[in-house]
Amino acid sequence: MYTPNEKRYDAMLYRHAGVSGLRLPALSLGLWQNFGRTGNFETMEAMVHTAFDLGITHFDLANNYGDPYPGSAEENFGRILRGMPGLRDELCVTTKAGYGMWPGPYGDRNGSRKYLTASLDQSLKRLGLDYVDIYYHHIFDPNTPLEETALALDNAVRRGKALYVGVSNYNAAQTAQIAAIFRELHTPFILNQPSYNLLDRHIETDGLDKLCLENGTGIAVFCPLAQGLLTGKYLNGIPDGSRAQTRQGLASRLDEKMLSKLRALRDIAEARGQTMPQMALSWVLRNPAVTTVLIGASRPAQIAENVKCLDNLSFSPQELERIDAIVNA
Ligand SMILES: NC(=O)c1ccc[n+]([C@@H]2O[C@H](COP(=O)([O-])OP(=O)(O)OC[C@H]3O[C@@H](n4cnc5c(N)ncnc54)[C@H](OP(=O)(O)O)[C@@H]3O)[C@@H](O)[C@H]2O)c1
């Protein structure tokens, strides 16, 4: 029987999701990888327990997460939650729909009311929950009127199946459009979920981060470690059991130019007294628009290491300049 760490709230930093009353931990755990049926259940459970013991109260899922079949991550997380009785009100659980999930026109990649409504009911069943804390539209759909997508999310809240809503993979212009509709509907739209890391700064160039700050919406960042590239684990080849072993797209980014950037970033991290993943997470968290970073992990020790980024969240102007010069070289 799991007994949570009594000191779990002592060291974590909690920040408001935009101007909402909801506070999220600076680090959250994402269950995209390593939580499907192909994984080891004991390791998954240990990762969730380690995270919660360190004050990570926010767990990020989606209908399609999990291998070998989509939805298996929600099933496994539901099973883990059943072993954590009495803790539901200490947890923030999110899910999403938008990418293809089931055959036919109502479960393929879209943003219709039909899909978003049915998918949330399916997710709740897999999770064994009455409601999720945040329900996201996972990716902008140019073929569905935004009013329809917004109304479907709004309706999830009014049906009591979600407390808040968010959007993911929406650019600044798309976000501005749907935010205007949510304002009219008085929908609790509190989070945007884009990718963002030292090597991917599109939210800065697109202006999404500024827009979210102006609108009072928080940002939950995905892939803050560029799927592991920014951890330094690939500096001497691709280790056994690492993500790049199974994801060709990730492995193909590891050319000599990338490796020399990563080595230079590692040197800066060391000078700051941090490991590479810690510096990469601190760098994302330095952006005032960011509420939380969604970290992925394949073992509990990675979570414990990454949480220590909180020990050094500030950067000198010289460090930031040096980092920019390395990344833009
Ligand atoms: N909305 C969206 O479209 C979307 C898309 C992608 C992700 N997400 C969300 O974002 C979450 C995080 O994405 P991500 O998993 O790609 O994030 P990430 O934090 O960029 O990468 C996580 C991976 O980095 C490696 N790692 C982490 N800490 C490490 C450490 N201390 N030392 C060595 N290696 C370390 C692990 O890879 P190994 O497996 O190699 O050990 C881990 O699986 C997802 O779970 C999901 O919730 C959302």
Ligand 1: residues with CB < 6 A are: 30-33, 60, 138, 168-169, 193, 222-228, 231, 233, 242-243, 277, 294-298, 302, 305-306
Alpha carbon distance 277, 229 (integer Å) = 9
In a domain, 172, yes or no: yes
Using a 10 angstrom Cβ sphere, with 0-12 exposed, 13-18 middle and 19 or more buried, the burial of residue 70 is middle
| Range 142-151 average pLDDT | 98
Instruction: Provide the residue range defining the domain that includes 320.
Output: 14-328
Residue 132 near residue 188, CB atoms below 8 Å = no
Q: Is residue 206 part of a domain?
A: yes
The one-letter amino acid code at 44 reads M
What pLDDT, on the 0 to 100 scale, is given for residue 199?
97
Q: Note whether residue 65 is domain-resident.
A: yes
Residue 132's H or E segment, with its range, is strand 132-137
For tokens 């300049």, what's the residue? 321
Q: Whose CA is nearest to atom 1 of ligand 1?
A: 168
Instruction: Tell which one of 54, 225, 234 to mutate to probe ligand 1, the residue whose CB is within 8 A of the most ligand atoms.
Output: 225
Mean pLDDT of 209-228: 98
pTM: 0.98
Residue 7 lies inside a defined structural domain of this protein: no
**Other C-beta atoms lying within 10 Å of the C-beta of residue 68:** 8
Structural domain contains residue 2: no
**Does the residue 54 lie in any domain?**
yes
Instruction: Say which CATH number the domain at 160 has.
Output: 3.20.20.100
Q: Which of 191, 222, 254 to mutate to test the pocket of ligand 1 (most atoms within 8 A of CB)?
A: 222
Atom of ligand 1 nearest to the CA of 32: 45
What are 168-203's pLDDT values in tens digits? Answer: 999 999 999 999 999 999 999 999 999 999 999 999
Residue 107 — φ and ψ, nearest 5°?
A: -130, 10
**Rounded mean pLDDT, 221-241:** 95
Burial (0-12, 13-18, 19+ Cβ within 10 Å), 163: middle
pLDDT band of residue 1 (cuts 50, 70, 90) is: confident
pLDDT at 54 over 90: yes
Please report the pLDDT score of residue 7 as a whole number.
Answer: 98
Q: Is residue 1 part of a domain?
A: no
**Over residues 77-100, mean pLDDT:** 98
Mean predicted lDDT score pLDDT of the chain: 97
Residue 274 has pLDDT above 90, yes or no: yes
Name residue 123's amino acid. Answer: S
Domain membership flag for residue 3: no
pLDDT for 27: 98
Number of domains in the chain: 1
Mean pLDDT of 209-223: 98
Atom 36, ligand 1: residue with shortest CA distance: 297
Closest CA to 208 of 174, 166, 164: 174
Residue 1 · residue 200 · CB < 8 Å: no
State the average pLDDT over residues 97-101. 98
The H or E element containing residue 163 is strand 162-168
